[in-house]
Amino acid sequence: MKMKHFLAAVACFGLAWAVNAQEAEAPQYQRSSLHMVLLTTDEPGLEGAEDFTAQLDQSWQNYPFPEKYNKHLIGFTQAYGGAPKGGLLELINQYKDGFGDIGLDEAKDIMQTLRGGKEYNENLVAAINEINAKEKIGNDLVKKWFNIQEDGSWDFELIAERAAYDASQTDVAEAKATSKGIQTIIDKGENLISNTFVTYSKLAFYPSEPVAAFTKNLAYLIAGFTPAPANTIMTAAADAAYVATSKGYMARTTTALYQLDWSEEVVAEFYAMFNSEGKIDMEKFNAYTFPMKLVGIDNANTNTIDAGSGFASALGIDSAVKPDDKLIQQTVIRNIDKIFAKLQRNYEVFAPVSQIISVDPLIADMGMKEGLEGGEAFNLLQPVLDPVTKEVKWESIGVVKVDKKNIWDNRYSLVEEGAQPAETEGPKGTVLSKNKKAALGMVVKQVVKAKK
Distances (CA, A) of 383 to 92, 146, 179, 359, 408: 52, 27, 32, 16, 26
| pLDDT value, residue 39 | 97
Q: What's the length of the chain?
A: 452
> What string of H, E and C letters represents the secondary structure of 299-342?
EEEEEHHHHCCCHHHHCCCCCCCCCCHHHHHHHHHHHHHHHHHH
pLDDT of residue 262: 95
What would you report as the CA-atom Rg of the chain, rounded to the nearest whole angstrom? 25
pTM of the predicted model as reported, rounded to 2 decimal places: 0.85
- List the Cα angle 67/353/438 in 5-degree steps: 130
* Residue 365 C-beta-side C-alpha neighbours within 13 Å: 12
Q: Given this model, what pLDDT does residue 425 score?
A: 60
Distance CA 363, CA 382 (A): 15
For residues 87 and 84, what is the distance between their CA atoms, to the nearest angstrom? 7
Output the tens digit of pLDDT for each of the chain's 452 residues.
Answer: 222 222 232 222 223 323 333 333 445 667 899 999 999 999 888 877 889 999 999 999 999 999 899 999 999 999 999 999 888 888 888 898 889 899 999 998 888 887 778 889 999 999 999 999 999 999 999 999 999 999 999 988 888 788 764 333 333 333 334 566 666 666 767 788 999 999 999 999 999 999 999 999 999 999 999 999 999 999 999 999 999 889 999 999 999 999 999 999 999 999 999 998 889 999 999 999 999 999 999 999 999 988 876 655 555 555 556 788 999 999 999 999 999 999 999 999 999 989 999 999 999 999 999 999 999 999 999 988 878 776 778 899 999 999 999 999 988 886 543 334 444 566 789 999 999 999 998 999 999 876 65
Kindly provide the residue ranges of all beta strands, DSSP E only, lying in 312-442, ordered along the sequence: 353-358, 363-364, 377-385, 392-401, 430-431
Contacts of 168 (CB under 8 A, 6+ apart): 4
SS3 21: strand
